[in-house]
Amino acid sequence: MTTVAEIAKEAFDAVAIEFSDGVVKTATLTKVTGSVHDTATDTFSDGASTAYEGRLIFTTSKQLMDDYPALTVGPNQKPALAIGFTTAPEKTDTITVGADTYKVAQVGDIVEVGGLWGLVLE
């Protein structure tokens, strides 16, 4: 049986072939374990980090909200779709694309079985 992750990979592969200008980005998801969240400042103390490789496409807020209406995109935030990570992104994570690093502000499991995530990055 074909999984959602396999279908998403095929779609990302097709987009990468069709649009050779780098629409599909290689991305690194960094998870920090052992960190402590300070709710007053919405910051996290450092812990051990683990990196996971995947791919990402920046999209428009309208496209993302049509697919996953629970996500809202505010000023200075970038909506994206992500695949290929062997673990689900979480609010405490960062995503690096090239020289740019973004904080994961919101995560939506697009079809609620893993493998394709809607992200709001800041």
User: What are the structural domains of the chain?
Assistant: 4-121 (2.40.10)
- Burial track 1-13 (b if 16+ CB lie within 10 A, e otherwise): eeebbeebbeebe
Q: Average the pLDDT over 97-112 and give the result.
A: 90
Residue 96's CB is within 10 A of a number of other CB atoms, namely: 16
- pLDDT confidence of residue 104: 96
Per-chain mean pLDDT for the chain: 84
Res 92: pLDDT: 80
Give the mean pLDDT of 59-74.
76
Residue 2: per-residue pLDDT? 74
